[in-house]
Amino acid sequence: MTSQKKNSPELLKGLTAFFVVVQLASFFMFWVNWDGNTISGFSLPLGDFFKTSGEKFGLANPFPQFSFLFSVFWLIPILAILIMVLGFLKKKTVLLSFIAGALSLSLVTVYILFTNTLLELGVGTDLFGMLKSGIYLQALGAAGLIITAFPVKNIGSKIVWLLLGPVFAFASYKMGENYIMNETHTATENVKAEYTLTATDLLKEFIANDTASNKKYLDKTMVVNGNVSAVDLLADSTSTIKFEDSTGSYIIFSLEKKEIEQIKNIKSGDPVSLKGVCSGSIFSEILSTTSISFKRATFNKK
């Protein structure tokens, strides 16, 4: 019995060392693949995360003024190294393990949520297929660090730290998402459209030259008229309306909850006029199709 008690701390220290190595190594591995663009764990604090999403998919950082906050994730490798050094010196590393684990799990959550947003905009076909081994290893290392933290024996406190990062990241992401949609939704109704086109003409223009079209229309308020191809009512009461051509290329408008009653009366083939802000296009090399997304969308009041 005494021998087991003595061996237990040594076993936990060994496991902690293993998990911290996994966490440190996987931070520099590929975490996601966005239509052929691989993104590593350190890409967010480095600045490449939103640079790639903005240039390739027209989805830039909605709050660039707060980009400096992402630097906090550099603490992940710093704390990992510090935990290894202190562990070698037989110093306590419990708090550092909790913080490093929580930061890692929050970063993992952000990557998953953002990748799912890209998926909804037409990038890729399967969320799990877009996640790479690095993100799974990072989650494993982070959770392992928290669980094996010694001498903390209170499982409740470990559960709190396991949930702290993901819950905070999820809440912050959804608050930012709702802020972007809700703050400017009413404004969209009152803003004069800079361009008015049919869905067919807009698709033709983007297919002919997506670089020039993105430069011309990105972040512009536009009115698009056409016949509805599909209407999707989502679980959170938001919804999308899609215009599609014969090639499979399409335009998709994301509308908010206040439009739900009007959307319920729309079916495929109905003519509609929508106003929104163009988020740019995405070209899928696999499907050879173009998708154009619009945010802050509302029905155009003629």
Q: pLDDT by residue for the chain (302 residues), tens digit each?
A: 444 444 567 777 888 899 999 999 999 999 999 988 999 999 999 999 998 887 777 677 877 778 889 999 999 999 999 999 998 888 888 999 999 999 999 999 999 999 998 887 778 888 999 999 999 999 999 999 999 987 777 889 999 999 999 999 999 998 887 776 665 555 677 788 999 999 999 999 999 998 899 999 988 999 999 999 999 876 555 688 999 999 899 999 988 777 878 888 899 999 999 999 898 888 877 778 899 999 888 898 76
pLDDT at residue number 234: 67
Ramachandran angles phi, psi of 268, nearest 5°: -60, 130
Half-sphere exposure of 137 (CA within 13 A, CB side): 19
- Residues near 71 by Cβ (< 8 Å), separated by ≥ 6? 45
CA-CA-CA-CA torsion sign (89, 90, 96, 97): positive
Identify whether the C-beta of residue 39 lies closer than 8 Å to the C-beta of residue 51: no
- C-alpha–C-alpha distance, residues 83 and 67, integer Å: 27
- Amino acid identity of 36? G
Other C-beta atoms closer than 10 Å to the C-beta of 247 total 12
pLDDT at residue number 180: 67
Other C-beta atoms closer than 10 Å to the C-beta of 197 total 18
For domain 188-299, give the fold: OB fold (Dihydrolipoamide Acetyltransferase, E2P) (2.40.50)
Identify whether the C-beta of residue 39 lies closer than 8 Å to the C-beta of residue 27: no
Nearest CA to 101 out of 69, 32, 147 is that of 147
- C-alpha–C-alpha distance, residues 291 and 249, integer Å: 6
For 162-191, give one letter per residue: b (16+ CB within 10 A) or e: bebbbeebeeebeeeeeeebeeebeebeee
- Residues near 245 by Cβ (< 8 Å), separated by ≥ 6? 199, 200, 203
pLDDT at residue number 101: 97
Nearest CA to 296 out of 238, 241, 254, 258 is that of 254
Ramachandran angles phi, psi of 252, nearest 5°: -130, 130
Identify whether the C-beta of residue 152 lies closer than 8 Å to the C-beta of residue 158: yes
- C-alpha–C-alpha distance, residues 111 and 165, integer Å: 13
Q: Which residues pair with 225 in a beta bridge?
A: 198, 273
Domain boundaries, the chain: 2-183, 188-299
